[in-house]
Structures are given as C-alpha cells and as structure tokens.
C-alpha cells in the first residue's frame, strides 16, 4: 500500500501545507476522536483494518527501530478470559474513590468493549529490535515505548476518519497480558485496543460531558520559556480562537 501514489504533487504549494480541505480533515479527526466502549457486532473488513494499521506503521520511531508489533484478537475464549481479569480490576479500582456517590458513579461506567468489539488488538514494544545501540535511545531509554504510543495515535485517528470506533483498555495488568499472549521478556505490552463500528460518536468525551473532572483551560497548560510563565497574549488568543473554531464544527 503506497499512499503517495494517490497524492498529486500539484496539491501542495511552496509552503508544503495541505490544501484547505485536507487540513480541515486532519483537525476534524483529532477533534472528533473518542475513546469508545460500546460497539456493534458487524465485522471489520480486513481491507479497512489493514489501512488503519498501515497508518500506525507510519508513525515516527526512535532511530527508525520500528519497535511495534500488532496482535489481532478475534477469538472469543481469550477475550472472555481477559474480560474477567479487567472486570476484577475495575471492581478493585472502585476502592480508590471515596465511598458514596463518587464510587457508585464510577461503577456505572462501561470502561471496555472487550466482548462487544469484533476486533481486539494488543500493540507491543520490542525493546530488543535493532540491537542494543539505537540512535536517540541511549539517554532516554523509554523512547521506544513513546514511539509505539505515536503508532497508537496514528491508528486511532485513521480509524476515526474511517468511521471506526476505538477504545483503549487500561484497567489491566501487564503480567496478565504477558501470560495470555505468551509475550517474551523483552516485549512490553503498550496498548490493548477494542475496535469496531459504533452507533454514533458522542459530541464530547463522556467524562467531560458528565463533569467528572473540570476541563483544563488551554492557556493553563502552555508556558513560555519556563514552567509557570504565562504565554503571550497573542498565543493565548490563538489558542482560544482555535478551540472555538473546532467546537463549532
């Protein structure tokens, strides 16, 4: 699959920016991506699954080591075993919230779609790939894992553009994944994803919509030169304008 063949060079200008409709599509995918938990049973065609994995394979990776692997899971038995583990972790996590309404609300949330989604995926990081010497990884050893996270985001955005829902399941233990999927010691589980068609994509993320936590103001998380220094008024206004524009789509 070579996407470059379908992109005419005349579509780019001297600044190398995309045409307006392409840019709009990129920002729309980012703005409308959701962490999905409920899925329809309809199968996901291999052709579509191949496209979104292709997008993942074109993520940046430290030293071009390409540390990712993708385990595609469609079988029921292993998903049932994993679901039982996740359900136990979900109940255990409830103890971390104050007893009462907060804990009760948490227990009402559907936090995974392991049994519902027609496709599950485990994306891993092979820390041994390309040998011990990898350009750019010597100082920050976790750069290989960060590279895999970039691949996950590529896949997620491509899936959203295709109308395919994706959910990242995080209430599980890596040692359980190692055992279930027979992972060698040098391979790290990074993301367990559920993917499939959905009834609709909510306008807002669920936890934002219900007010689980307050939304951070954009200028609160952007600093100038050093931590805690407010950015320029022009940048703050641009951040606000960008947020308004995306919210109107």
Domain boundaries, the chain: 34-201, 213-249
CATH number for domain 34-201, candidates 3.40.630.10, 3.40.50.2020, 3.40.50.620, 3.40.109.10: 3.40.109.10
Q: Determine the Cα–Cα distance for residues 34 and 204; give it in Å rounded to an integer.
A: 8
Residue 219: the pLDDT is 76
pTM, rounded to two decimals? 0.90
Confidence (pLDDT) at 8: 63
Residue 247's pLDDT is 64
For 130-165, give the DSSP string.
Answer: T-S--TTTSS-TTHHHHHHHHHHHHHHHHHHHTT-E
Q: What is the pLDDT along the chain (249 residues), one digit of tens a residue?
A: 444 455 665 656 778 899 999 999 999 999 999 999 999 999 999 999 999 999 999 999 999 999 999 999 999 999 999 999 999 999 999 999 999 999 999 999 999 999 999 999 999 999 999 999 999 999 999 999 999 999 999 999 999 999 999 999 999 999 999 999 999 999 999 999 999 999 999 999 988 988 899 888 877 899 999 999 988 989 888 888 877 776 666
Give just the sign of the alpha carbon dihedral 218, 52, 178, 138: negative
Predicted local confidence at residue 48, as pLDDT:
98
- Model pLDDT, residue 4: 43
Given this model, what pLDDT does residue 3 score? 46
Sign of torsion over alpha carbons 34, 38, 40, 41? positive
Token pair in block for residue 134 = 């990898």
């Amino acid at each position: 699959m070579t996407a470059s063949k379908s992109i005419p060079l005349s579509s780019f200008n001297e600044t190398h920016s995309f045409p307006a409709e392409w840019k709009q599509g990129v920002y729309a995918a980012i703005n409308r991506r959701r962490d999905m938990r409920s899925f329809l049973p309809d199968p996901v065609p291999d052709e579509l699954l191949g496209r979104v994995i292709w997008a993942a394979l074109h993520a940046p990776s430290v030293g071009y080591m390409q540390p990712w692997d993708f385990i595609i899971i469609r079988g029921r038995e292993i998903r049932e075993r994993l679901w039982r583990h996740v359900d136990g972790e979900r109940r255990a996590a409830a103890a971390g919230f104050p007893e009462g309404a907060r804990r009760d609300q948490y227990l009402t949330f559907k936090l995974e779609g392991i049994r519902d989604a027609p496709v599950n995926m485990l994306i891993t990081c092979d820390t041994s790939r390309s040998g011990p010497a990898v350009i750019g990884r010597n100082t920050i050893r976790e750069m290989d894992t960060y590279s895999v996270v970039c691949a996950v985001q590529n896949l997620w955005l491509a899936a959203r553009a295709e109308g395919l829902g994706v959910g990242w399941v995080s209430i599980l233990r890596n040692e359980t994944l190692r055992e279930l999927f027979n992972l060698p010691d040098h391979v790290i589980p990074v993301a367990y994803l559920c993917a499939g068609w959905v009834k609709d994509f909510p306008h807002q993320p669920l936890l934002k919509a219900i007010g689980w936590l307050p939304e951070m103001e954009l200028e609160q998380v952007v600093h100038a030169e050093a931590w805690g220094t407010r950015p320029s008024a022009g940048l703050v206004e641009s951040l606000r304008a960008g947020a308004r524009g995306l919210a109107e789509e």
